[in-house]
Structure 1
């Protein structure tokens, strides 16, 4: 199917307010964000057909328009955002220009692809279980999952509200900082980080080639933040963190989509339908265990990330896998990715994926985490690291 990152049909274009701080910049919006007068499809043709056309822009879309950026289109997403690789059975797989023949990452696949191809300077995505961080890593972009609850999510199609966030992409740190200042309503931090924690278990979990590729970028970061130490991020095991998020997120997604499913019996790709069915059958005991582990994760990250501290880890355990793999090969890939992304939904700390490394020519990102609310510290660090 088509590798165009934008939805089929006439390209949507909306001019931003003249004279704003983003005047002259173009942006795209994942097809989970409302644009007044245009259907929100959510990657599924029945969602657009069975739900009303929005009459107002989503908060994030309006914020960028008010800042002067021009909306140049809505982008492909994994079906109802329930995916991490960027392949959609209805709309196809957007091109990963940094690794042709490989997935762009999802579910914000089209937004990442559009920025990576130079079709716009920034783009809105969403991140529940890794849907901005993973495509940022696979496509060689800056991509942020902000502090959970910081941004207004009005007009953004929900999936799992206790984990859902709005995020965005850019090719360079300066553009990323401009978009971040508008959406965070805060300038980059005035002072750099005081301390750095290196998550040894996360680097150990990544494939050796990925850890080795990220080593030079990590060394540059250590020169910026010379007070650094190594720590285990997940004492219970990264796989336990992944299992908890893999329990809580689908259960919430089922609760979100259940009224629509029961009312309209929509069409789904097999993998999406299977995930919703399995979520509906999740035992209460498993949900209870996952909720308790979420509390442990939050406590652990509060301990590791006091104000002024950042944590470094690989964004993904490997670069982008090939497109078109069979379902049997995709399950272990998804599970491994989630082991390095689960903390986002579980604890809600801000996380920024920074480009600058490749494995066999395919990008991999280095992620930085900070205390809840310290998003601007990550923006400052990205600017400093690009100059280092």
Structure 2
């Protein structure tokens, strides 16, 4: 299925002579385009909210740098999904694993890049929505340091975790786009220390851990000073439970006014998540906030300047499309166990392709200190060349 929002046909030329001239991009349907409705993957959002009159910051930044916008891409409904299936707009093709999900919620953006329909694409990442589709579709993807980029004109879900991210098929394009979006030169400096998260590799399915091992070995050749550590002493499942508590509460707070005013339509899984967020007790929220504080302290300790932490991006490759909810729920829970640290601690993370399990891609992720986004991009570039 096409990764583009049904019924949309648009092209906006980038500024001539910019550093991204000649590149094309697409934008997840959470980013505002002046004069075009923002759909958010929901049939009622665009109808019940005004058409924007300004481009989102991320869209404007790429246009000003010379890239040409070629379309808006499908998203999981109001970005509340991790597999890439939208009950109203369909499931974009995963060309790297046909018949399997592309990953979400930036499903259409990852699909468009993986199909070669554009050079890069904007996504968002709250609980894994760039990292997961990058892994499932065999792409480079980034979740930047939380709070680093201007999110104006981007439909938010859970502001304490929301970020803007992007995809590319190759490291050179990924670095070009990253330099513009981060407004920082991708310098030649590589990390000096590597930490391998033993609990994350142990949590991944054995076939996935084995598949990404050669990619990890390439990284070790670049950063020979390495050691093994546990990333989450309290348990990856505990971190995931905390994120699964905080994120739906914020999502409910974000959409509450719209829901109570207009009673929009939702797929069952999305409505269920919002309802659970609305009903979360204060004591549970307080516990989750303490776990977030713990996660932030742990990653600060593990990631002093010049250090990268390596984990499998996802615990398994893309599942089949169209699975029933009782099968999907535990898969979503397992994915969050390797993604929750992003929303909890806000550190930058880059997903690197290069591994497959039974022909389906899986990625290796690198995490660094807050603000060290460019070092991760440089490392990805060096690994592709090695």
TM-score (norm 1): 0.99
CA drift of 1:278 comes to: 1.0
Q: Residue in 2 aligned with 1:144?
A: 142
CA drift of 1:356 comes to: 0.2
CA drift of 1:190 comes to: 3.0
Q: Is the 8 A contact 1:14 1:71 kept in 2?
A: yes
Unaligned 5+ runs, structure 1 = none
Rounded Cα–Cα distance in structure 2 between residues aligned with 1:376 and 1:8: 35
1:376 aligns with 2:374: yes
Q: Is the 8 A contact 2:145 2:373 kept in 1?
A: yes
Q: Residue in 1 aligned with 2:198?
A: 200
How big is each residue's C-alpha offset from its partner over 1:147-172, in whole Å with a ceiling of 9 and x where there is no partner?
Answer: 00000000000000000000000000
Q: Residue in 1 aligned with 2:352?
A: 354
Q: Residue in 1 aligned with 2:383?
A: 385
Rounded Cα–Cα distance in structure 1 between residues aligned with 2:188 and 2:205: 36
1:89 aligns with 2:87: yes
1:103 aligns with 2:113: no
Q: Residue in 2 aligned with 1:54?
A: 52
Rounded Cα–Cα distance in structure 2 between residues aligned with 1:217 and 1:340: 18
Q: Is the 8 A contact 2:8 2:72 kept in 1?
A: no
Q: Residue in 1 aligned with 2:313?
A: 315
- Of 230, 248, 254 in structure 1, the residue corresponding to residue 246 of structure 2 is 248
Rounded Cα–Cα distance in structure 2 between residues aligned with 1:142 and 1:14: 24
Q: Residue in 2 aligned with 1:299?
A: 297
Q: Residue in 1 aligned with 2:125?
A: 127
Unaligned 5+ runs, structure 2 = none
- Of 57, 66, 69 in structure 1, the residue corresponding to residue 67 of structure 2 is 69
How big is each residue's C-alpha offset from its partner over 1:49-102, in whole Å with a ceiling of 9 and x where there is no partner?
Answer: 000000000000000000000000000000000000000000000000000000
Rounded Cα–Cα distance in structure 1 between residues aligned with 2:29 and 2:246: 24
| Alpha-carbon spacing, 1:336–1:92, altered in 2? closer, same or farther (3 Å) | same
Rounded Cα–Cα distance in structure 2 between residues aligned with 1:89 and 1:224: 44
Q: Residue in 2 aligned with 1:171?
A: 169
SS of 2:96's partner is: coil
- Of 332, 341, 347 in structure 2, the residue corresponding to residue 343 of structure 1 is 341
Q: Residue in 2 aligned with 1:13?
A: 11
- Of 180, 183, 195 in structure 1, the residue corresponding to residue 181 of structure 2 is 183
CA drift of 1:189 comes to: 3.0
SS of 1:349's partner is: coil
Q: Residue in 1 aligned with 2:227?
A: 229
How big is each residue's C-alpha offset from its partner over 1:248-306, in whole Å with a ceiling of 9 and x where there is no partner?
Answer: 00000000000000000000001101111111111111100000000000000000000
Q: Residue in 1 aligned with 2:211?
A: 213
Number of residue-to-residue matches in the alignment:
386
- Of 77, 97, 115 in structure 1, the residue corresponding to residue 113 of structure 2 is 115
Rounded Cα–Cα distance in structure 2 between residues aligned with 1:327 and 1:250: 18
CA drift of 1:191 comes to: 1.1
Rounded Cα–Cα distance in structure 2 between residues aligned with 1:77 and 1:314: 24
CA drift of 1:362 comes to: 0.1
- Of 67, 77, 80 in structure 2, the residue corresponding to residue 79 of structure 1 is 77
| Alpha-carbon spacing, 1:22–1:124, altered in 2? closer, same or farther (3 Å) | same
SS of 1:198's partner is: strand
Q: Is the 8 A contact 1:189 1:379 kept in 2?
A: no
SS of 1:45's partner is: coil
Q: Is the 8 A contact 2:249 2:277 kept in 1?
A: yes
TM-score (norm 2): 1.00
SS of 2:44's partner is: helix
SS of 2:31's partner is: coil
Q: Residue in 2 aligned with 1:284?
A: 282
CA drift of 1:10 comes to: 4.0
Rounded Cα–Cα distance in structure 2 between residues aligned with 1:186 and 1:149: 16
